[in-house]
Structure 1
Amino acid sequence: MSPPRATARLQLHAGYTLDDACAQAPYYAALGISHLYLSPISQARSGSTHGYDVIDHQRINPELGGEAALRRLSDTARRHGLGLIADIVPNHMAAHATNAWWADVLRHGAQSRHARTFDIDWQPADTALHGKVLLPVLGEPYGESLAAGHIRLIHDSAAAEGYAIEAGGQRLPVAPGTAPAGDTPDAVCAAFDPAVPRGAARLHALLERQHYRLAWWRTAPEQINWRRFFEISELVGVRVEDDAVFDAVHALPLQLVREGVLDGLRIDHVDGLASPGAYLRRLRQQLDEARARNGGDIRLGSGVAPALRNDGGAGYLVVEKILAEDETLDARWPVDGTTGYDFMDQAGALLHAPDAQAPLEQFWTTLSGDARSAPAQLLDARHRMLARHFPVERQGLVRALTHIAQQDLRTRDWPPTAIDRVLTALLAAFPVYRSYAEDGGRSAEDERWCRLALDRAREALDASESDIQLLEQIGAWLAGPQQRGADEPSPALRRFQQLTPPLAAKALEDTLFYRRGPLLSRNEVGSSPTQFALPLAAFHALTYARARSHPHAMLATATHDHKRGEDTRARLAVLSEMPERWQRAAENWIPRLGSAGTSTPADRYLLLQSLVGAWPLTLSVEHAGDVAAFLERIVQWQEKALREAKLHTSWTDPNAGYEAAARLCVTALQDTDKGQALLRDIAAWTAGIAPAGLVNSLTQTLLRNTLPGVPDLYQGTDLWDFSLVDPDNRRPVDYAARAALLAAGDPGAARVGAAHAVAAQAGAALAASTSSSPIATDSSAWRSGAIKLQLIQRCLALRASDPGLFDHGDYLPLTAQGPRADHVIAYLRQHEARAVLVVAPHHCALALAPYAQDQAAQAARFWDGTLVQLPEGLGAMRNVLSGQPVNVDATGSIALAELLRDCPVALCATG
């Protein structure tokens, strides 16, 4: 199989089904997408909006339309030259009674045929849980729930025993042989009525005989005896390292690959697995075997799609993996790359002017009153997570290490308390998501990160000689098996490697990035709290490295998990070009947003950034209904942000008073005269920088679609996307508007989609139809987002017309000369006789804002005297965006004032 040319991520749920996706196949084909990239399609809990709470890995979700709808989508997609990639969830499932595997465990306990499916500790430290599963599903402590009637025995004719326990919104099974006997179900249930003391005693006795123990939800961090996904007690870890479990989890997606329905897989949360390397090697082998078994025409339920053939080659395989700053993807993994969080961070950092970091951080320190560095604050967040959110996981690891210590006379004197103290320092200091000590031990890069963690922990342990000695011993215990092929980690190593990923994510992405905000556009999944900006030379180096190691990795600038939409971040990045001016505005607005009796100045500053960043281009303060809808989105964001920060309120202990005061800062913007005046000021100021944000957005869009890798388009981001964190970033997409803009801007695109042309044929047809027609660059095109849509289309048409150039072409950064040389991003993609030139602005969005205001001639003067030098022998080029030939002088130079006469970016191709 050829790798995807470009993917479009679609979020499926009951409100947007596989048939809904089917209806958009013509649009995505016309846009130039090669593969639809689907969120999880296996059956999830009823009403799931994301699909990661799987209850049946072996069935297509009926709420999405089931298998028949998937086959309709596949059939339609093939006719339009599109393939399918699916997101799969091997790490966890829903811990819910509607999950038949989980229900079987609840019914039969350790004797269940699925007892080894889930990562359960059947002999935890708490002897009351031996042979039982803790179910922290109660809203109050157990005794209170029982007395209040929130736990009941009910008759259930569908249950094997005829009865079920109703608790926590679920119907839980009763163990065989424990169901009560009686004349009638009504009489039996009445005898177990918890409202009557004798009934409550009977019910309690019955519950004590079950293979699960009902508990208050707050007990989970301290007592749960099974691996959760992060700290979510509704999701239970799956032991996919077990051969039988692997086969059961992957039977359906591999079958769909064999049948030609799917072309590739995206692996969710690969870091949660016990042995990611061993897992990926096994999956790669079976995925490629599945592809090879379907080497001819792709046969579907409604016939054959002769235009698209499966060459039997390797299936596309990418992993969701967060890479830390300076971390690279494990070279031992047989994957095509990551899902693109690394690129999202790099592209975002590139847009930020480095000189703004110091003043913005100083301003934040003044507002927050916290002068600690970002690493110091992150360390504090990690310690909080270890102490309050992951204590049971930490203590389980302590017990595993204590067991190792007691097996050796030289280490048996180390007590659990000392191991806990030293281990906590090591966990808090661990600099990346996890180590991969398998297949012969750590890789060289793993060794480097683990040594860094040991060095940092040593500093934190106050140079105690005994603690340092124990630290080195723990490091040796966690080094992993030293024999190649020994993939199964020890219990201690497995616990360690499965604890550091949720610790890293929850401390950074879901705590620090909500409580520390010098500039929120740098608080994103995959970002580092210490990297504010990225020099252009470093960006080029990272791009070149990715092209060499994983040329088909995904390139994303938006995902279903992002904290802010790609265009929200691009607008906020403009503030890095004007930090002093922004600070003056914020200093004026913060007191007007509220007083000491509302929320803190720091929280009001975060609110201001969100208002400015997410303000819709078309929103007028005069339209009260639209303003109210926007402010409601802000209120939802604010509640989540405050609770994730865990400073003044939290999910576990919400502070209603503080949250109400913070909400008042938002609602007062519409409900009071002073608030309305402030809102008008914010709106007018935002309108002044919004055009510059759009310039940044075009740079980001052009990079994603032309650099080495596979550009991934998140649903809805083909137009401007000023979204906030989920669920805001999963709102419905107006496809009709997009299709109309695409057709209006380029009727050839509509003809290509209607003709069902495929792959390179479609690309060639579209490239030909657009070779001489300019994209719309008037103010209405900027305002509607049509300019972004057309830029994406032109880029993808080039990729389709010459896949070899983008799959295998060289990546050659170019230098500029002249007064604006430091503000130019330029590079060539070159393969054989073909070349594509990309030119985009860098750290000058404010100066180029007139492009978006029907003043392109004024903006283009910024480039007077600035040139880009081309290598010899390229041949004639045409600007794909303007339709005009590129004027190259006798020295091989291009004048940017002419090249960028109408648009702040340029895409030029030979031939």
Structure 2
Amino acid sequence: MTAIRATVRLQFHRDFTFDDAAARVDYFAALGVSHVYASPITTAQPGSMHGYDTVDYTRVSAELGGEAGLERLVERLRAHGMGLIADFAPNHMGVGGAHNAWWLDILAWGRHSEYARHFDVDWHSPDPALRGKVLAPFLGTAYGDALQAGDIRLTWSAERGQFVVEYGPHRFPVCPTDYAAMLRQADVSVLAPLCDAFDHLTTQPEDRARAIAAQQTFTTFAAVARHAQALDAVAAAYASPEALHRLLERQHFRLASWRTAADDVNWRRFFDISSLIGMRVERPDVFEAMHGRMFALYADGLIDGLRIDHVDGLAEPREYCQRLRQRLDGLRAERPLALRATPATLVVEKILAYDEPMRRDWQIDGTTGYDFMDQVGMVMHDAAGASALDAWWTSLPGASRFTLDEQALRAKRQILAENLAAEVDRCARALHRIARDDLTTRDATFASIKRVLVEYVLHFPVYRMYPESGMRSAEDNVFFERAREGARAALRTADHALLDRLDGWLGGAPMPGTDGSGAAPPYPTPAGSHRRSALILFSQLTAPTAAKAIEDTLCYRYARLISRNEVGAQPAMLAMSSAQFHALTTSRALDFPRAWLTTATHDHKRGEDARARLAVLSEIPERWAQTVTQWSTLNARHKADGANGASVAIGPEAAVESMLYQTLVGAWPLDLTPSDAQGVAALTDRTAGWLEKALREAKVRTDWFAPNVDYERACQDFLRAILSSDPRNAFVAELARFVDTIAPAGAINSLAQTLLRVCCPGVPDLYQGTELWDFSLVDPDNRRAVDYARRMAALSDAPPSAHLATWRTGSIKLALIRRALALRALRPALFIGGDYLPLDIHGALASHAIAFGRIDRNTGDAAIVVATHLPASIASHDGLPLVTPATWADTYVDVPEPLRRAVYDIASDRERAAQPRRALREMLDACPVALLTTPVARRS
């Protein structure tokens, strides 16, 4: 098997199984990828469309085809010299429903369950109603209402040998220690033997074997018809709300409305999703229990590495990754002989701030590529358009008058108060315990600590810190200093001393005496275990706060240009120069040459080519502002409600309307015409799904917690009205006309982005189906079924330049990917491990191109990459994504000596004379990008 050089991400679910993927392996091989990168393959909640709600780490998903199906897929991959990378979610499991055996066991046995320490549960909640229990916030209504309505009921399961409380699809096992009393209450003599089996049962570990035997007796007993009738009588004894409530009060779970989770949940969630519970993977026994199946699959040669989901949710990401690397390295000797030469791939999903480097001591290959997606996105935008776009955006009615930083703080404050209140309280309690341990701070109140903590979290500039042995690193201190300065400015002076204490508790240097003398404190410092808990809880609070506030709130409120509102992006930063891009890429080449490079994911908010098209707006900000004004005027009639003789404006406010227009511009398919009523209707439906999510995520006038149905309906009505087939509706034609004018420049951006992804240092990752144009919207739109037959038919040996005339089909993008990946297969060391050399561009249009070289010092193999940059003002006006050669005038690229052997352009199938200066009018005469390399055999 070859070493990893390029991946394709596949979303597996019941409608796209291992066998479905196996049937596409010939296509993936022809495309040129080396590995399939699979969404989670362990057993998830039934019907899961993503696999991240794992319910059983020990089994390959039967819905996907089970281990036999996985073996068939890998067999097909190995026949082509390809491999498989598995996505793995160690941070959380799916709960609720009836399929997570570990979760069901803690519902039955509470903290006495053998899995109690697998989950991140606070068994010592300050709420007496939750002490020693887990909150089960799965009711659709208030607990009392559900109880009175009979929606909660007691039943029994012969298969499990249990009494179970049911609510819809959810199952809550009754603790077996209650069974004897329950059986006696029914007063049915036939139940006596079963009652004896459970008599005097306790929750202690030494009784667990007897409990298992008793449940087996239950199963056998229930198989007899008259016994089953007797068990029905037991369940009937708890039919009244009062009797059932008394039984529920004795259980190790507390049923509650889903609305209580934000305030009361006593276990760590994935962000604010109450169907995903945090795992304590930092415990060695839990680590082995969760990863055992994946280790076996790796040792058996069925997978070749792991992509780790949401690594920032873990208690100790660095230590986790180091342990994982050591285990994988230790298993290499057990793999099939042909697979032992290459170490396991190990990458992590990690969101990095622009100025935050990936830590180099984690023993990973790098991130999954959100950082690259952000960087290549910025370099496609024009910084000169920022001020005009800012002026336009802030002029819109309804747009926030706060600065973007202020908006971010407001969004974070809202998330902490409304979505993560329980998590804030848990972290504040951990800090309060530290305060009580130290005589100098024992008078610090919980309320004051929580107040200071909130400001610290609000101003924390990155996802989280990574302390080691209870102390922060120098890298952590850079970000803590910023957070401390922001918090100090926001807090009253009386809280400043406590802020300094908090800094020490959170891994800072030991605090001096409170008298300012610098002397050591006269009393013992906080216990190490309490400090470690506080560090972990703080880290697990800042990460979801940033994610929910920026990605899931601010990115749906702030719409200066939504191509920059993306997962892992920095919306405040519109653009970066090619020099900045080169500097970041050079750093990645040195530190993480095998990091992944992506431009589309299962989480993206809009497709890679939608973003590339919208980037064109940064080059024409005044024209865009004028266009939005015209469209708003044109569509104003769809906001008027003439009921009762009044005209009341309804529907989206101007800020939301402008975001809608950007969405439509980005998503409009290249083959769609205004007269295609069916196609426009399909786009309308897709956009309607986006609009609902956008409005609720923004949390301004509606949200997921309490939807404003009237407002949402008005916005949806507006969308459908402006895209209607009414002959009086001129907007659709205007929209199509505008898209048609910027689409060629958008396609140039797309091809440049594609070439940079494939040729920059790292491993290019393709998201399923994006080999053709990708104008998708946020999930579930970006997870639609892929037409692989169409893509297979579009494969061609012709160079990308041959597809220029038919560029709207996307075949030019597919051809570029295939050609570039073929070169990577031919010369892998050139792209992973080879030098990265930024190239200087001179001449009148020097700012309109980006170029770099790649060189393998061992073999002398070389490549030159050139891409058109900021094309809106220079692209030809004949409808092709190309700059007329004469337009380039005297612009040229300086080519240093090691790169002059690169003379064969795979984008146009031409050989060009070796020169120290390469004129762009020649390099880019047939295609908007060029990839020159040392001569290779032509494709047959």
TM-score under structure 2 length normalisation: 0.89
Question: Could you tell me which amino acid in structure 1 is paired with residue 454 of structure 2?
Answer: T
CA-based RMSD of the aligned residues comes to: 2.0
Aligned with 1:407 (options 437, 441, 462) = 437
Residue type of the alignment partner of 1:871? P
Q: Deviations over 1:630-679 (max 9, x none)?
A: 10000000000000000010000100000000001111134463773111
1:342 aligned onto 2:371: yes
Structure 1 counterpart of 2:483, from 453, 468, 471: 453
Correspondence for 1:530:
572
**Counterpart mapping for 1:119-158 below 5 A:** 119-158=120-159
State the Cα deviation string for residues 586-623 of structure 1 (Å, max 9, x = none): 01112333433222111111111111110011111211
Does 2:821 align with 1:796?
A: yes
1:804, distance to aligned residue in structure 2 (A): 1.3
Q: Choose the corresponding residue for 1:363, options 392, 414, 426.
A: 392
Q: Which amino acid aligns with 1:363?
A: W
SS at match of 1:776: helix
State the distance in 2 between where 1:89 and 1:431 align.
25
Amino acid at match of 2:381: H
Deviation larger for 474-483 or 812-821? 474-483
Aligned residue runs from structure 1 range 176-191, under 5 A? 176-179=176-179, 180-181=182-183, 182=186, 183=188
Q: What per-residue deviation string (whole Å, max 9, x for no partner) do you get for residues 450-471 of structure 1?
A: 1111111111114x1x311111
Are residues 258 and 662 of structure 1, via their aligned partners in 2, closer, same or farther at CA, if it must alter by over 3 Å? same
User: Which 10-residue stretch deviates more, 442-451 or 608-617?
Assistant: 442-451
Whole-angstrom distance in 2 between the partners of 1:160 and 1:562: 45
The equivalent of 1:677 in structure 2 is 730
The number of residues matched between the two structures is: 860
Higher mean alpha-carbon deviation, 87-96 vs 367-376, is at: 367-376
Specify every segment of 5 or more residues in structure 2 that has no aligned partner in the other structure, as ranges: 189-226, 511-524, 640-648, 936-940
- Contact 2:2–2:82 (CA under 8 A) maintained in structure 1: no
| Structure 2 CA distance for partners of 1:727 and 1:675, relative to 1, 3 Å | farther
Letter in 2 for 1:234: S
Match of 2:547 among 492, 502, 505: 505
Q: Structure 1's 615 and 232: CA in aligned 2 closer, same or farther, altered over 3 A?
A: same
Distance 1:285 1:521, change over 3 A: same
**1:2–1:495 Cα change, 3 Å:** farther
2:352 to 323, 336, 343: 323
Give yes or no for the alignment of 1:159 onto 2:160: yes
Match of 1:475 in 2: 503
The aligned runs of 1:402-441 (5 Å cut-off) are: 402-439=432-469, 441=471
| 1:292 CA drift (Å) | 2.7
Give the residue type in structure 1 aligned to 2:125.
P
| Distance in structure 2 (CA, Å) of the matches to 1:676 and 1:690 | 23
- For 2:706 and 2:727, the matched residues in 1 are separated by 32
> What CA distance in whole angstroms lies between the structure 1 residues aligned with 2:464 and 2:721?
45
Counterpart Cα distance in 1 of 2:486 and 2:727: 50
SS at match of 1:616: coil
- Out of 381, 391, 394, the residue aligned to residue 411 of structure 2 is 381
Which residue matches 1:836? 863
Cα deviation for residue 690 of structure 1 reads 1.1
**Displacement of 1:849:** 4.9
For residue 286 of structure 2, give the secondary structure of its aligned residue in structure 1: helix
Matches within 5 A, 1:756-767: none
The 3 A distance-change label for structure 1 pair 271 and 555 is same
| 8 A Cα contact 1:669 1:675, kept in partner | no
- 1:879 partnered with 2:932: no
Shift of 1:314: 2.3
* Structure 2 counterpart SS, 1:153: strand
Q: Is the 8 A contact 2:752 2:868 kept in 1?
A: yes
Instruction: Tell me how far apart the structure 2 counterparts of residues 583 and 508 of structure 1 sit (CA, whole Å).
Output: 25
CA distance in structure 1 between the partners assigned to 2:333 and 2:483 by the alignment: 43
Distance, in Å, in 1 between the alignment partners of 2:928 and 2:401 is 39
Which residue, out of 516, 527, 537, partners 1:495?
537
Q: Distance in 2 between matches of 1:712 and 1:724?
A: 19
Structure 2 residue 680 is the aligned partner of structure 1 residue 627: yes
Q: Measured at CA, do residues 850 and 262 of structure 1 come closer, stay the same or move farther in structure 2, by a change above 3 Å?
A: farther
Structure 2 distance, partners of 1:616, 1:523, is 21
Contact 2:863 2:902 in 1 (8 A): no
SS in 2 for 1:154: strand
> Matches of residues 646-685 of structure 1 in structure 2 within 5 Å?
646-671=699-724, 673=726, 676-685=729-738
Tell me, in whole angstroms, the C-alpha distance in 1 between the residues paired with 2:36 and 2:231: 53
Q: Does 1:778 align with 2:804?
A: yes
Q: 5 Å matches for 1:854-873?
A: 854=880, 859-872=884-897
1:363–1:583 CA contact under 8 A, matched in 2: yes
Q: Percent identity?
A: 49
When normalised by structure 1's length, the TM-score is 0.92
**Contact 1:437 1:480 survives alignment (8 Å):** no
Q: Which moved more, 1:611-620 or 1:671-680?
A: 671-680
- Note the C-alpha offset of 1:206: 1.3
Call closer, same or farther: CA 1:213–1:170 in 2, change over 3 Å.
Answer: same
Q: Is the 8 A contact 1:866 1:897 kept in 2?
A: yes
**How many Å separate the matches in 1 of 2:508 and 2:420?**
23
Structure 2 CA distance for partners of 1:107 and 1:410, relative to 1, 3 Å: same
Distance of aligned partners of 1:205 and 1:93 in 2 relative to their CA distance in 1, 3 Å threshold:
same
For 1:547, the equivalent position in structure 2 comes to: 589
Q: Which residue of 2 aligns with 1:268?
A: 309
Q: How far off its partner does 1:855 sit?
A: 8.3
CA distance in 2, matches of 1:212, 1:690: 56
Judged with a 3 Å threshold, the aligned counterparts in structure 2 of structure 1 residues 481 and 288 are, in CA distance, closer, same or farther, namely farther
Aligned residue identity for 1:320: E
In 1: Cα distance, 2:509 partner to 2:18 partner = 44
SS in 1 for 2:823: helix
Note the C-alpha offset of 1:202: 1.1
Letter of the aligned partner of 1:697 in structure 2?
S
Q: What is the CA-CA distance between 1:774 and the residue it aligns to?
A: 6.3
Match of 1:87 in 2: 87
State the Cα distance separating 1:433 from its structure 2 match. Answer: 0.3
Other-structure match for 1:706: 759
* Contact 1:375 1:529 survives alignment (8 Å): no
Name the SS of the counterpart of 1:676 in structure 2.
coil
Q: How many angstroms apart in 2 are the aligned matches of 1:842 and 1:435?
A: 36
Give the letter for the 1:887 counterpart: A
Distance in 2 of aligned mates of 1:326 and 1:675: 51
Alignment match, 1:206 = 247
1:155 is displaced (CA, Å) by 3.2
Task: Note if 1:71 corresponds to 2:71.
Answer: yes
Work out whether residues 777 and 903 of structure 1, in 8 Å CA contact, stay in contact via their aligned partners in 2: no
Structure 1 residue 369: Cα displacement:
3.9
Preserved CA contact (<8 Å) 1:565 1:724: yes
Counterparts in 2 of 1:555 and 1:882: CA distance versus 1, 3 Å: same
Cα distance in 1 for residues equivalent to 2:530 and 2:234? 50
Q: Partner residue of 1:721?
A: 774
Query: What is the distance in 2 between the residues matched to 1:128 and 1:597?
Result: 45
CA deviation after TM superposition for structure 1 residue 481, in Å: 10
SS of corresponding position for 2:177: coil
CA distance 1:492–1:144, shift in 2 (3 Å):
same
Distance 1:80 1:190 in 2: 62
Structure 1 runs not aligned, ≥5 long: 298-308, 747-769
**Offset from partner CA, 1:299-357 (integer Å, 9 cap, x none):** xxxxxxxxxx431x421100000001200111221100000000000000000001111
Aligned amino acid, residue 778 of structure 1: L
Alignment match, 1:767: none
Matches of 2:876 and 2:767 in 1, distance apart? 26
What SS is found at the alignment partner of 2:931?
strand
Contact 1:192 1:200 in 2 (8 A): no
- 1:625 positional shift: 1.3
Please report how far the alpha carbon of residue 899 of structure 1 lies from its aligned counterpart in structure 2 after TM superposition. 1.4
Report Cα offsets for 1:700-728 as digits up to 9, x if no partner.
00000000010000001100000000000
